[in-house]
Amino acid sequence: MKIKILTLFPDMFNGFVGESIIKRAIDNNVVEIEIIDYRTYSNDKHNHVDDTPCGGGAGMVIRCDVIDRAIKANSGDNTYICLMTPQGERYSEAITKELALKDEIMLICGHYEGFDERVRGYVDRELSIGDYVLTGGEIPAMAIADSVIRLLDNAINSESYKDDSYYNGLLEYPQYTRPVEYNGDSVPEVLLSGNHKKINEYRLKESLRKTYLRRPDLLEGRLLSKEEEKFLKEVKDEEDNK
């Protein structure tokens, strides 16, 4: 996969591409990441990419002609173009899985007061990582790229993400490691039993418990297996009797 990121601040991505799992994925040719400074596509002698808003108001607006030139110079027929904007579709694991199937994605980072409205006509999708506003689209672009890369073949072991929160529609079960006992708080005995059937049942039940208590909306409309129905009923009974 190839990921292209259009930004005014390419140096913000130095640590992102140079550390940990992302760096290993790049080194192992799992993904190619290209950071593109769209200031180079300004036709202004001072390399301006923004201008004052028409009709007045605070801040500066990213020009549509600059973004258009940057997109045309760096995209092809198979490039899936995403705009980072708080007005976009709420990002989710389902969208992550969609993007991970693409050959090439482009993530466009805004800044200042946002984009000229006409930029929206140049992209395939608008994405938001939450109901809040950041100073620019660089952090959302990193978050989206990271979430996509970890799903690519050979980026990480698939067993490392298949039980993660949201991957299967539930929150992840509690995790423990040594020491077995600390400050009077102990690892659940079932996890030390070596009985993998019981361990898997415990993890499913506790995953349902976390989801029920923290994100019950994820259970709405979910088609539960018989085992999930059984464990969820047990969870509800246990929580009601606390």
Please, are residues 144 and 82 in contact by the beta-carbon 8 Å criterion?
yes
Please tell me whether the peptide bond between 179 and the residue prior to it is cis, using omega within 30 degrees of 0. Answer: yes
Whole-angstrom Cα distance, residue 5 to residue 16?
Answer: 12
**209-231 in b/e burial notation, b at 16+ Cβ within 10 A?**
bbbbeeeeebeeeeeeeeebeeb
Q: Enumerate the active-site residues.
A: 86, 113, 150, 164
